[in-house]
Structure 1
């Protein structure tokens, strides 16, 4: 029987190599990458069955990478493996199209189950967050408020992460293949959309929303 093909994205190389040993008996691990942009490139080239990704990654975080990946390749399953126990991250992960959310300290017991579920089109969330996520989702419509992060465009979120990582406008432009002036345009567009008055407030917003 042909093994399902997996691309793994995690910027902690030791963690990734440890996961190799967990995955390879049952799956074909076709690539390990260390940032969200490399993940998108690998998926475009290799077309795996499943992506296992961390939430926090440089250049493009896992959730934003998943949003873009699912638009381009909706049939590819995404499972998040993360340290983030905050239910808001789990909610964002599923909204981005993920089918699984597993905590790293639970990986040996839960990751294989989550991947198996994802390959069958079923969702899996670590039991530590399942009840809390349900409560969180029930409360959200009652709030009557849109998540301010959702007001930003895909490109704005990309720019925001790079600026939050300390890149200059010129450096961010080089990563994105756009001009520094366009980066500044997106920066001030975000500030206007979010009602922020300074670059410092924009970076604080990024930190509060886990843009990293």
Structure 2
């Protein structure tokens, strides 16, 4: 039985080793990387069928790495393995060219299923994420240009605080997430809403009643 060739990219050594042990009996691990640069340097020569990619790499956004990998390896399947569960990140991952989306907290039970699914040319999404994505489609918000989108509860919370002038590090402390994750949420909100500046974001929040002058 063919064993898929898997390349693992994650900046946490424990995660790398955990995935290696989890997949050892059913796949061939052909390489690992701790950074985006290391992944791009070594993936082509490793010739993987599957790349398991963390979104939050230390030197690169995992979303931006997807098209770069596809340029080097057009046939490679990419599964994002991440802690980020908001619908925007799932949609953005597939928009960039990912083939699967697995939450790290579910990886021990889902990763092999995800690999088998994408090897059969089908997408895989962790079930709890899939439910949130469906909800985001069913309950849209209005964007300034009239296009309808949906913000997750966490994005709604970050938007309200940003519009009220709360600094990023304070938002991170208040909500209990990292500054990097706040920046991810901020980028996701602005991308979804078609907004490029904090001033525009504040105006949108005023219109939606999320903040006051």
Deviation at 1:127, TM superposition (A): 0.8
User: The residue matched to 1:78 in structure 2 has which SS?
Assistant: strand
Contact 1:35 1:61 in 2 (8 A): no
Q: Is 1:33 aligned to residue 33 of structure 2?
A: yes
TM-score (norm 1): 0.64
Q: Is 1:86 aligned to residue 103 of structure 2?
A: no
| Alignment correspondent of 1:163 | none
Equivalenced residue count is 152
Change in CA separation of 1:33 and 1:4 when aligned onto 2, cut-off 3 Å:
same
* Residues 147-171 of structure 1, C-alpha deviations (whole Å, 9 max, x = no match): 9xxxxxxxxxxxxxxxxxxxxxxxx
Change in CA separation of 1:195 and 1:61 when aligned onto 2, cut-off 3 Å:
closer
Deviation at 1:44, TM superposition (A): 1.8
| RMSD, aligned CA | 2.5
Deviation at 1:67, TM superposition (A): 2.2
Whose helix fraction is larger, Structure 1's or Structure 2's? 1
Superposition map of 1:37-186 within 5 A: 37-137=37-137, 143=143, 144=146
Distance in structure 2 (CA, Å) of the matches to 1:64 and 1:10:
15
TM-score (norm 2): 0.64
Contact 2:87 2:129 in 1 (8 A): yes
Distance in structure 2 (CA, Å) of the matches to 1:128 and 1:36:
28
Change in CA separation of 1:139 and 1:14 when aligned onto 2, cut-off 3 Å:
same
Distance in structure 2 (CA, Å) of the matches to 1:195 and 1:95:
23
The structure with the larger Rg is 2
* Residues 70-94 of structure 1, C-alpha deviations (whole Å, 9 max, x = no match): 2332310000111111221111111
User: The residue matched to 2:14 in structure 1 has which SS?
Assistant: helix
Distance in structure 1 (CA, Å) of the matches to 2:20 and 2:14:
10
Distance in structure 2 (CA, Å) of the matches to 1:62 and 1:140:
26
Distance in structure 2 (CA, Å) of the matches to 1:99 and 1:140:
25
Distance in structure 1 (CA, Å) of the matches to 2:58 and 2:103:
19
Deviation at 1:137, TM superposition (A): 4.7
* Residues 17-55 of structure 1, C-alpha deviations (whole Å, 9 max, x = no match): 011100111000011101112112222222210000111
Contact 2:51 2:77 in 1 (8 A): yes
Deviation at 1:141, TM superposition (A): 10
User: The residue matched to 1:109 in structure 2 has which SS?
Assistant: helix
